[in-house]
């Protein structure tokens, strides 16, 4: 998902009733968190996986809330204004959650693991577990925590631009105050309540987030004159999901490479997220990233691990897949409505969105969502939407805090302290969460001054996901693959990804003194390969390394594979899995696929 800087409402846009609604949200959230915390037990099962007692509704809502962040409310709406439904590709990957429920959940449920790296240890080796745990923790700090705290700071910085706090030894502006408040409020209930508090508060936040965002769509369409008017005002290409391999205005040497302006200068480089989504990249690369994220990332799968059985985990995944279809209509469509209102002149204040050529201006359009809130929504309703935005910020941070503390405690600390008591593991989990909060605070000045950081962060998942996808999915479906092949795939894949990130970083962050790579040089070529194509290259190399090394070395012991691959699942395990689902589960899953197909057929220009 693309993420951008977060323009919000001016302070004067919120009335007293709006602030009452926002205050009510916080009271309700903290009240629920306190109620859940009081029910908790001092055991690792309870703290990290909510006692493995989460129902399907809580699982599905929690998965959705963890996924949805401020980048959806702002970034997707901005993308909708400039590029139409192009970004819907990623939201329509809701089918990946069905793969989690039907394909991967049975293996996770049988193994009774706490973390995804722990499952990798069962299948391959302890070394594979440590490698994945460390990579995951670093990636969480560099991406999810960074995005969350920056967005939180900008929210408060724009809502209350004059807010400041003088502590004598340091003066804090509204950005710092906002970042600290979001971190501390989220950190408090995450530290005290663990996974149970995170899951239940996320269920509440899901409802507020969906309801608030849906109001933006409804009021916006009403102001515009309905869906037919939206189709009439906007160009048909904005309703087209099928982008060409080499879009107009883009050089085709490493298609697409760079987009040039009227003076011949490069205005946008290929590895940024933009409207130039060639169908080849979306068809082959995006599913790899999607399956990694939804089926193997601790940040998401931890909710399914908290289920008491396969039935609840699977139904939670199916429910989350339905919810995942909503961002197209509650985030992307509002952005398109905003541009239509500007283009039609029905709200003159939105005129700054339209450029001389009649197209949306990229930078201005990132304010599409807050502009809709400001000019379309009535007083009181604005407060609900801002509460939804805060819900997105806090739920994403809570999820990464809990996932990180689980990885550190169960995958790293317990390995060095195997005799640690249950109480000690919970205590370490709380300490790890506090450390993540402090790391987040330390990141604030770095993020505040960085340029182009969000675009850079979004390339991280494209470069780190392929080797993780390979070892999990190849490992489950191919019993001949061994631990040496697994390590080869992880090391080679991560090395390629880190190399690409190292090459991209000076360009993306516009480092002082860096004049760019010489045109035609090796580093220039690497930097200019479209990010999805490079991600696909990492996948192919990682997969080849895993298969070749595995077949050149000894086969894994049959006893070690029992129940961990499709070829070694026992008849008893198959019977248990078969009894865990009903006809209704199948029909619901088919319903998700039909809705995705309808969306692809409808959005074809």
Element (H, E) at 475: helix 475-477
Provide the 10 A C-beta neighbour count for residue 113: 19
pLDDT 10s digits, 420-430: 888 888 899 88
pLDDT band at 448 (very low <50, low <70, confident <90, very high): low
Cα distance between the two ends of the chain: 22
CA angle 599, 537, 482 (to 5 degrees): 105
Residues 599, 602, 604, 605, CA torsion sign: negative
- Read off the tokens for 132: 């994945």
250, 309, 489, 545 from 533: Cα distances, Å: 16, 39, 18, 18
pLDDT 10s digits, 160-189: 666 666 666 667 666 677 667 777 788 888
Domain range for residue 189? 11-246+253-602
Radius of gyration, CA atoms only, the chain = 24
pLDDT for the residue numbered 315: 96
Residues 6+ apart with CB under 8 A from 29: 201, 204, 205, 394
Q: pTM for the whole thing?
A: 0.83
**Higher-pLDDT residue of 251, 511:** 511
The domain total for the chain is: 1
Q: Is-contact 399 299, C-beta < 8 A?
A: yes
Is residue 9 scored above 50 in pLDDT? no
Determine, yes or no, domain membership for 411.
Answer: yes
Determine, yes or no, domain membership for 313.
Answer: yes
Determine, yes or no, domain membership for 3.
Answer: no
Q: Under DSSP, is residue 354 helix (H, G, I), strand (E, B) or coil? A: strand
pLDDT 10s digits, 238-274: 888 775 544 555 444 443 444 444 455 444 444 333 3
List the alpha helices (DSSP H) in 104-173. Answer: 105-111, 116-123, 126-140, 146-159
Determine, yes or no, domain membership for 273.
Answer: yes
Determine, yes or no, domain membership for 294.
Answer: yes
pLDDT 10s digits, 114-143: 899 999 999 999 999 999 998 888 878 767
CATH number at residue 156: 1.20.1730.10
Determine, yes or no, domain membership for 27.
Answer: yes
Determine, yes or no, domain membership for 262.
Answer: yes
Determine, yes or no, domain membership for 2.
Answer: no
Q: Is-contact 58 64, C-beta < 8 A?
A: no
């Amino acid at each position: 998902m693309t993420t951008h800087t977060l323009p919000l409402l001016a302070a004067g846009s919120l009335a007293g009733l709006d602030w009452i609604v926002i205050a009510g949200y916080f009271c309700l959230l903290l009240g629920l968190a306190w109620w859940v915390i009081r029910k908790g037990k001092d055991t690792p099962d309870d703290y990290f996986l909510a006692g493995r007692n989460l129902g399907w509704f809580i699982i599905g809502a929690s998965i959705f809330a963890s996924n949805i962040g401020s980048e959806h409310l702002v970034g997707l709406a901005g993308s909708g204004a400039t590029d139409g439904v192009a970004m819907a590709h990623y939201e329509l990957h809701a089918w990946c959650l069905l793969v989690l429920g039907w394909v991967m959940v049975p293996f996770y449920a049988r193994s009774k693991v706490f973390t995804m790296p722990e499952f990798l240890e069962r299948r391959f080796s302890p070394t594979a577990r440590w490698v994945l745990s460390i990579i995951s923790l670093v990636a969480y700090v560099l991406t999810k925590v960074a995005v969350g705290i920056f967005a939180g700071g900008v929210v408060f910085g724009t809502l209350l631009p004059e807010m400041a706090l003088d502590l004598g030894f340091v003066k804090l502006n509204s950005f710092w105050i906002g970042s600290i408040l979001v971190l501390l409020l989220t950190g408090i209930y995450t530290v005290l309540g663990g996974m149970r508090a995170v899951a239940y508060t996320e269920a509440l936040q899901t409802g507020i987030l969906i309801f608030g965002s849906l109001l933006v769509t409804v009021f916006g369409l009403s102001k515009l004159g309905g869906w037919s008017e939206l189709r009439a005002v906007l160009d048909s290409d904005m309703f087209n999901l099928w982008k060409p391999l080499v879009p107009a205005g883009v050089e085709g040497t490493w298609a697409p490479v760079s987009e040039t302006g009227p003076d011949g200068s490069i205005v946008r480089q290929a590895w940024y997220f933009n409207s130039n989504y060639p169908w080849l990249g979306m068809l082959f690369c995006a599913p790899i990233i999607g399956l990694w994220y939804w089926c193997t990332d601790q940040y998401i799968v931890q909710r399914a691990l908290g289920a008491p059985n396969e039935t609840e985990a699977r139904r939670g995944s199916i429910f989350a897949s339905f919810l995942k279809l909503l961002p197209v209509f509650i985030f992307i469509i509002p952005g398109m409505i905003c541009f239509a209102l500007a283009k039609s002149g029905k709200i003159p204040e939105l005129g700054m969105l339209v450029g001389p050529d009649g197209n949306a201006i990229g930078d201005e359009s990132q304010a599409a969502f807050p502009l809709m809130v400001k000019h379309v929504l009535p007083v009181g309703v604005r407060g609900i939407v801002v509460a939804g935005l805060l819900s997105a910020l806090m739920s994403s941070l809570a999820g990464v805090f809990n996932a990180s503390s689980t990885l550190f405690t169960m995958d790293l600390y317990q390995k060095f302290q195997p005799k640690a008591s249950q109480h000690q593991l919970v205590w370490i989990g709380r300490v790890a969460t506090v450390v993540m909060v402090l790391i987040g605070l330390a990141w604030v000045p770095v993020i505040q001054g960085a340029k182009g950081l969000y675009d850079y962060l979004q390339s991280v998942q494209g470069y780190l996901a392929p080797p993780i996808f390979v070892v999990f999915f190849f490992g489950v479906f191919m019993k001949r693959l061994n631990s040496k092949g697994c390590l080869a795939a992880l090391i080679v894949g991560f090395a390629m990804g880190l190399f690409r990130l190292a090459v991209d970083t000076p360009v993306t962050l516009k480092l002082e003194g860096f004049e760019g790579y010489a045109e035609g040089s090796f580093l220039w070529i690497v930097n200019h390969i479209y990010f999805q194509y490079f991600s696909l290259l990492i996948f192919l190399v990682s997969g080849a390394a895993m298969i070749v090394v595995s077949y050149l070395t000894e086969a894994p012991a049959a006893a070690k594979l029992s129940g961990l691959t499709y070829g070694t699942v026992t008849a008893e395990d198959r019977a248990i899995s078969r009894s865990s689902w009903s006809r209704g589960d199948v029909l619901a899953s088919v319903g998700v696929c039909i809705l995705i197909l309808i969306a692809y057929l409808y959005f074809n220009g």
